[in-house]
Amino acid sequence: MTQEVSEDAVDRRVCCDGERGTVRYVGTVPPTAGLWLGVEWDNADRGKHDGSHDGARYFTCRHPTGGSFVRPKKASFGVDYLTALKQRYEVELQEVIGEEVKISTRTVMMVGFEGVKQKQRLENLTEIGLRRCEVSSPGPEDEIRNTTPLAQSLDLSGNLLSSWEVVAAIAEQLSSLEILQLSHNRLSISSNPSSLSPVFSCLRVLSLNSCALTWSQVLHCAPMWQKLEELYLADNDITEILRPVHVLQTLKVVDLSNNQIVQETLLEISHLPRLEKLNLSCTGLSVIHFSDVSAGNKTSSFPALKALFLDDNNISEWIVVNELEKLQCLVQLSCRRNPIIQKEKNPETSRQIFIARLGQLDLLDMRQIHADERRGAEIDYCKMFASAWLQAGGHGEPEKNQLSSEFITQHPRYLQLIHKYGVPNKDDVREEKPFALKNELLTVTFVCPEDADRKPIEKKLPASMIVQKVKGLLHRLLKLPRAQFRLAYTCSKMAGREIEIDNDLKPLDFYSVEDGDNILVRWS
């Protein structure tokens, strides 16, 4: 680039040595001679100062080390859409069509690629990917419309777009545009976003991850997106949520992950009538509370929400999970890497408690919940808290139940579960013991009912030992390295009944195997 840069370069986007930034100043910087660009970098580590030099302020930055000065010749102001398009697609095509390729010692011409050429002709493209192609402007008037008239999906992530007006100048020429990815750009906010809404009249999916946006700016821009169904806003500057009024009402999917949200403001988006999927992972969330209803009832908040992602947060109390049971439509939950998982000694036990507390859930942490798993989880939950239930006023005869409100708040599904599976008997009441390894070991006896010559073998096993490892142990104990084992167990509580152990990935305590039980071993 030459030293001649007009003052309208201010607020334009530039790229220098692979780093993107926004021009905040054009002019001299005494005592040096010549023209300088004052740039605020997207990556603050690229900068050196906050826009001040030798005591004089030339521009301001969001970050104290986000700015620096560069010579114009070192900065690229990018290319127009059409130039990037041809570089991305036509150059690739020319590398294939008519190319001489050396195969072994013979040189041959590539033939038969006419179909490929026809398919990839620019005017036939429906999906266009121009990620990190330094696009900064639309190019000659109406040329986009003539060149890519069928585009439905456009990826302009990580480019040099400077404003929503520039984006609109591109999008208005793509009448079928439904999916637009603008992540990793820095777009100045339009003063009149409503005037741009006809441009985005077909837009259903919009990605604005890592665009340094606040929630207020999102709401300001929202009148542009009248039919938007999916909005991705991960890794922005969103903290306090304000209620969307007359905007964003068509949204079905919202991603707010990697934003440090003020959790007291979260429910401001709970009235979006069509919202089905919400990602709140890595937002610092520790509490969710729906105050409009008591435990065991359904809230009016998030009336359509089916899938909720809460990974990598600070959730540490089961009372938060109880609150999720108030959601009317929740069937999918992801809550990985939260402190609550560590509250139980075995992650599978935590999973069982989640399943038992959330009656509608079909998918937990990306794993399907099958009917037998739910049944086992709910029965074990009843046993696990049977002692607390009795102490809180629980009784085998429903009319004599005088449960405390505290117990109902802590276990809102418990009465529903004992109605489903029956009242826990005395043998199911588990005495709370301090944690120690010996309390986690079960004494079980392996019995081979189809081989009378083999003597029973007594072993102490961890309750958390998965069935697959039990079978590995049996291969060694019985010296049957290639046997296909089938396991079941019997216990004194259910004399004469065998309970099948049929899932290699489950721990023994999933099947409620207890101290003194017999494990029956058969093989083929």
Q: What is the mean pLDDT of residues 67-79?
A: 92
Does the residue 495 lie in any domain? yes
Q: How confident is the model at residue 115 (pLDDT cuts 50, 70, 90)?
A: very low
What is the C-alpha separation between 69 and 26, in angstroms, rounded? 9
Range of lowest pLDDT (21-35, 234-248, 436-450, 473-487): 436-450
Q: Do residues 235 and 262 share a domain? A: yes
Query: If you average pLDDT over residues 155-163, what whole number do you get?
Result: 96
Q: Classify residue 224: in a domain, yes or no.
A: yes
Copy the structure tokens of residue 277: 């999927």
343 and 468 in one domain?
no
> 159 pLDDT band (50/70/90 cuts)?
very high
Closest CA to 357 of 337, 384, 336, 338: 384
Q: Confidence band (pLDDT; 50, 70, 90) for 332? A: very high
The C-alpha atoms of residue 241 and residue 507 are separated, in whole angstroms, by 42
What is the per-residue pLDDT across 225-276, written as a single tens digit (0 to 9) for each? 999 999 999 999 999 999 999 999 999 999 999 999 999 999 999 999 999 9
Who has greater pLDDT, 81 or 423? Answer: 81
Domain-embedded: residue 467: yes
Domain match, 143 and 194 both: yes
The domain tally of the chain equals 3
DSSP for 241-269 reads: ----SSSSTT-SEEE-TT----GGGGGGG
Please name the residue ranges forming H helices in 326-413.
Answer: 347-357, 371-384, 386-391, 405-410
pTM confidence score: 0.77
Residues 65, 85: one domain? no
- Where a domain ends, among 336, 371, 406? 371
Kindly state whether residue 98 falls inside one of the protein's structural domains: no
65 and 139 in a common domain: no
Which amino acid does the sequence have at 156?
L
Instruction: Report d(CA 441, CA 509) in Å as an integer.
Output: 11
Residues 129 and 63 in one domain: no
One domain, residues 236 and 278: yes
pLDDT, mean of residues 98-109: 44
Q: Residues 505-522: pLDDT tens digits?
A: 788 988 888 889 999 999
User: Do 45 and 138 reside in the same domain of the chain?
Assistant: no
Q: Residue 55: which domain range?
A: 12-74
Contacts of 373 (CB under 8 A, 6+ apart): 355
Residue 253 dihedral angles phi and psi, to the nearest 5°: -130, 130
Q: Is the pLDDT of residue 156 over 70?
A: yes
Rounded Cα gap, residues 1 and 136, in angstroms: 15
Q: What is the pLDDT of residues 276-321, one digit of tens each?
A: 999 999 999 999 999 999 999 999 999 999 999 999 999 999 999 9
Rounded to the nearest integer, the mean pLDDT of the chain is 88
- Residue with the bigger pLDDT between 71 and 424: it is 71
Residues 307 and 353 in one domain: yes
84 domain residue, yes or no: yes
The total of other beta-carbon atoms located within 10 Å of residue 408's CB is: 16
DSSP per residue over 224-238, as a string? G-TT--EEE--SSS-
Is 379 within the bounds of a domain? Answer: no
Predicted pLDDT at 202: 96
pLDDT reading at 124 higher than 50: yes
> 358: domain CATH number?
3.80.10.10
- What does the pLDDT average to over 424-429? 64
Burial class (CB in 10 A: 0-12, 13-18, 19+), 311: middle
- Distance, CA of 175 to CA of 178 (rounded, Å): 9
Task: Note whether 55 and 160 are same-domain residues.
Answer: no
- Reported as a pLDDT band with limits 50, 70 and 90, residue 120 is low
Q: What is the mean pLDDT of residues 95-112?
A: 44
Conformation bin of residue 118: beta by default, left when phi > 0, alpha when psi is -120 to 50: alpha
Read off the amino acid at residue 201.
S
Region 16-36 average pLDDT = 91
- Range with top average pLDDT, 358-367, 470-479, 497-506: 358-367
Q: How far apart are the C-alpha atoms of 129 and 84, rounded to whole Å?
A: 10
Dihedral sign from CA coordinates of 264, 269, 270, 271: positive
Instruction: Please confirm whether the linkage preceding 31 is cis (ω < 30° from 0).
Output: yes
Is 157 in the same domain as 304? yes
Please indicate, yes or no, if residue 382 is contained in any of the structural domains: no
Angle at the Cα of 484 from the Cα atoms of 480 and 485, rounded to 5 degrees: 85
We report the CATH number of the domain holding residue 20 as: 2.30.30.190
C-alpha 354/C-alpha 335 separation (Å) is 10
CATH of the domain at 490: 3.10.20.90
In a domain? residue 390: no
| Structural domain ending residue among the three candidates 371, 393, 410 | 371
Q: Are strands 485-490 and 67-70 parallel, antiparallel or unpaired?
A: unpaired
Average pLDDT over residues 53-75: 91
Residue 519 backbone dihedrals phi, psi, to 5 degrees: -100, 120
Q: For 369-420, write each residue's pLDDT tens digit.
A: 999 999 999 999 999 999 999 999 988 777 777 889 999 999 999 999 998 9
Q: Which helix (H) or strand (E) covers residue 369, if one does?
A: none
3-state DSSP call for residue 414? helix
pLDDT confidence band for 105 (50 / 70 / 90) = very low
Q: Can you give the pLDDT at residue 96?
A: 45
User: Could you tell me if 317 and 180 lie in one domain?
Assistant: yes
Place of tokens 């639309």: 138
